[in-house]
A and B are shown apart, each in its own frame.
Chain A
Amino acid sequence: MNAQTGAAARELSYAEAIREAMDIALATDERVVLMGEDIGVYGGAFQVTGNLVEKYGTDRVIDTPISELGGAGVAVGAAMTGLRPIFEFQFSDFATLAMEQIVNQAAKVRYMLGGAVSVPVVMRFPAGSGTGAAAQHSQSLEAWFGHVPGLKVVQPATPEDAKGLLLAALDDPDPVMIFEHKILYKMKGMVPEGHYTTPIGKAAVRREGTDLTIVSTSIMMHKALDAAQTLAEEGIDPEVIDLRTVRPMDRDTVLASVRKTGRLICVYEGVKTLGIGAEVSAMVAESDAFDFLDAPIIRLGGAESPIPYNPELEKAVVPQVPDILEAARSLAKGMI
């Protein structure tokens, strides 16, 4: 049972949970359309849309040409004029082709027009490394979008949140960017039936602890939980936070945890420099929680390189469980 909705839950994969959210939205809201490359009969590059085209037809599950800029712009224009488009980028890397429409238009139109319109577009970005697809199909660009006022940026880490955040994004009057880690698509988890939303802008404490805080995003949340188990056996009691939303960031949850533990590790897959960890760290440093820090902050992020092809190299450039363990141990021992 889901505490929020009272609905029964059953096991679904992350991809199935997203598809179920889109199915509910298409069934209950005529304004909803899906747009993207090969999301129709092909079912999407990662089979997220699956067979929805059979159920809702090509007028509502729309295969776009390979035109990321134009496609994103059409979604923005449609959102400004009454539709609720869910636009899928085949890989988040391809959003670089559409930055103009996302950054200059979707994010800014409301402000530029003094609040006269909203842009309720939802964009989905399959992101992250681990598939052997190398440098142009493996990036984690969420921090780019998090830098843009006017956008909301979420990173669901579980099937339940993947569905809940997508439905919340559809309820949201402003553009919401959903970064889905490709490796998570096949991960299973309990997902409540029916319509429910996961609040945007709210982090989740996945494990309570007293000795240090690990703020994690997306797939790194699972690695942080793995590490936490080992650490607990060693007598180190970490608190693991799943950030869930990159913008607007949940200050309260992060700061409360740091005030409690006095130690902070941020772990995220995007490139370390100028990334999410920098924002989380600065948020702590600028707040009263600074006075509760009892050690320097550690950021674990992607290496300063593109994602390599070789599988060992690919692993080496993003944080792994042993990296988290090492960081946590050195923090807990007061070695740094």
Chain B
Amino acid sequence: MPTEVIMPKVDMDMASGKITTWHVGEGEAVEKGDPLFDIETDKAAMEVESPGSGILHHRAAEGRDIPIGMPVAWLYDKGESVSTPPESGAHPEDPARTDAIPEPVAGDVFLHKDEPPVAPGADDKVRATPRARRLARDHGIALGDMTGSGPRGRIQAANVEAFADGRAPLGEPSVAAAPASFHPQAGDLKVSRRGSGSGVPAVLIHGFASDSHSWAAFEPHLGNRPLIRIDLPGHGKSPRRAPASFTALASELRQAFDQLGLERAHLLGHSLGGALALAIADTRPRKIASLTLLSPAGLGPEINGEAIAGICRANRAESLGPWLKRLVGDPDLITDRYIRTAMKGRADPDLRAAQTAMSDVLFPDGTQAFDLTPALGRLAMPSRIIWGKSDTIIPWRHALRAKGQTALHLYQGLGHTPQFEAPEELGKLIGDSL
């Protein structure tokens, strides 16, 4: 049975939308989460990800106005026979109907008349809690647009709240301490793709205790090219596990990079991700078009162990906030809402347990236990190091270990996360030159 792809409601007062571009051709395969089409409403343009994996058929025409909830395409299993489009279970949302309360059944003494039944909504098949559904209704958000952090991907209230705050779906507000031990998960690292275009793709590797969302502010400045983001193990949506050594971690990342099957890619890494990018570049030199290291680890023993331990330990926004403020040059950038959202992203106790275990391997006693300085000397592709001179996590002076043709860009007033603190500035520097 093919899966229906509908015109999603992405805006509160949206009644219909136009497909401006299909990213996947008729009869082509698509993976769940891949960009599927762009839509345009009277207010915004937006990319819509594929709700499932399969072979795309019965695409709706570009440029036509389609009511929300109506099918725009169908996803078939490989080998499944394709004929005419199936009957849609969805009905276009009728704005006039949304607020209508059904009449209570008269004369029936067995029903509570004060509680009219609720009309079924368009989000029926999404796994979500009742509270999440109610919040989504109140905010005019389609549940299909977000991922849930609950069991089996169930969308919970916090996911909707985070989405409504303009952020990507995040986890529950944290209440439980990270367990001393956790059950390590197997499986591939999570790879997510953003953007389109024909340029050489850029592969982005985030830093310790962060995740792929940390690139969000910077991504619009990386030019017209596919962006491929990898979540580290024990981070973001990757399996919860802690590699036994830096070498093991680097080998996992290399494997994930290889599985992307790219001819060539620009490689960008931040902090620990920088060290990993350097390690990949060292072993896959012919595939790397350029290497950009942002406040990279691996170039010296010093690191702010207190901040790492503080972030790993933090159980609630109150204890996380002060350490997050250490990451940036201007603490005002770290708002309360930012902290709350970050904490929601760290709600899973197993995530925090995995990161704590990882920090013990990578940064024992507040020391970087791995050294990639020799690799710096071997780089043949264009490479650059970008650092904020107000970094309190890893001293910017480590950048001075660079040899040969690696370019250095030092920014006054920026902290450990220049791509978050000054995305436009950095965009000017590297956007076009990738």
Contacts and interface: CB of A to CB of B under 8 A. Distances in A.
Interface of A: 211, 234-236, 262, 286-288, 290-295, 329, 332-336
B347 interface: yes
Interface in B334-372: 347, 349
A236 B176 contact: yes
B176 to A, nearest CB: 5
28 contacts: A234-B176, A235-B175, A235-B176, A262-B129, A286-B112, A286-B115, A287-B112, A290-B130, A291-B131, A291-B133, A291-B134, A292-B130, A292-B134, A293-B130, A293-B131, A294-B130, A294-B131, A294-B132, A294-B156, A294-B157, A295-B129, A295-B150, A332-B175, A333-B172, A334-B150, A334-B151, A334-B156, A334-B347
Nearest to B111: A286
Interface of B: 112, 115, 118, 129-134, 149-151, 156-157, 171-172, 175-177, 315-316, 347, 349
B131 A335 contact: no
A292 B132 CA distance: 8
B340 to A, nearest CB: 15
A333 B346 CA distance: 12
Contacts of B316: 235
A237 to B, nearest CB: 8
B151 A335 contact: yes
B151 A336 contact: yes
A329 B130 CA distance: 20
Contacts, number: 56
- Per DSSP, chain B at the interface is loop
A332 to B, nearest CB: 5
B172 A334 contact: yes
Given A286-B112, A334-B149, A236 B156 contact: no
A292 B131 CA distance: 4
A333 B176 contact: yes
Contacts of B150: 295, 334
Given A291-B133, A292-B131, A262 B157 contact: yes
Contact of B115 (A211, A287, A293): A287
A288 B132 CA distance: 14
Given A333-B176, A334-B156, A336-B151, 18 more contacts: A234-B175, A234-B177, A235-B177, A262-B131, A262-B157, A287-B115, A290-B130, A291-B130, A291-B134, A292-B130, A292-B131, A294-B156, A295-B150, A332-B175, A333-B172, A333-B349, A334-B150, A334-B172
A234 B134 CA distance: 29
Contacts of A329: 176
Counting from the closest, the 3 A-B pairs by CB-CB distance are A294-B131, A291-B134, A334-B172
Given A211-B175, A333-B176, A293 B129 contact: yes
Contacts of B112: 286-287
A286, A295, A332, A336 — most chain B CB neighbours (10 Å):
A295
Contact of A295 (B134, B156, B315): B156
B343 to A, nearest CB: 12
Contacts of A286: 112, 115
A336 B149 CA distance: 11
Given A235-B316, A286-B115, A333 B175 contact: yes
Given A333-B349, A334-B150, A334-B156, A294 B176 contact: no
A24 to B, nearest CB: 39
Contacts of A292: 130-131, 134
Contacts of B347: 334
A306 to B, nearest CB: 34
Contacts of B157: 262, 294
Contacts of B115: 286-288
A291 B129 CA distance: 8
Contacts of A293: 129-131
Contacts of B176: 234-236, 329, 332-333
Nearest to B137: A291
B292 to A, nearest CB: 37
Select the residue from A236, A262, A286 with max chain B CB neighbours within 10 A: A262
Contacts of A333: 172, 175-176, 349
Contacts of A336: 151
A296 to B, nearest CB: 8
A54 B113 CA distance: 54
Contacts of B130: 290-294
B293 to A, nearest CB: 36
A211 B174 CA distance: 11
A292 to B, nearest CB: 5
Contacts of B134: 291-292
A295 to B, nearest CB: 6
A11 B316 CA distance: 41
Contacts of A262: 129, 131, 157
A286 B133 CA distance: 16
A172 to B, nearest CB: 24
A288 B131 CA distance: 10
A329 B177 CA distance: 11
B25 to A, nearest CB: 39
Nearest to A288: B115
B118 to A, nearest CB: 8
Contacts of B156: 294-295, 334
A264 to B, nearest CB: 12
A292 B157 CA distance: 9
A335 to B, nearest CB: 7
Given A288-B115, A333-B349, A294 B175 contact: no
Contacts of A294: 129-132, 156-157
A329 B349 CA distance: 12
Nearest to B160: A294
A151 to B, nearest CB: 20
Nearest to A336: B151
Contacts of B149: 334
Contacts of A334: 149-151, 156, 171-172, 347
A236 B175 contact: yes
A27 B58 CA distance: 86
B132 to A, nearest CB: 7
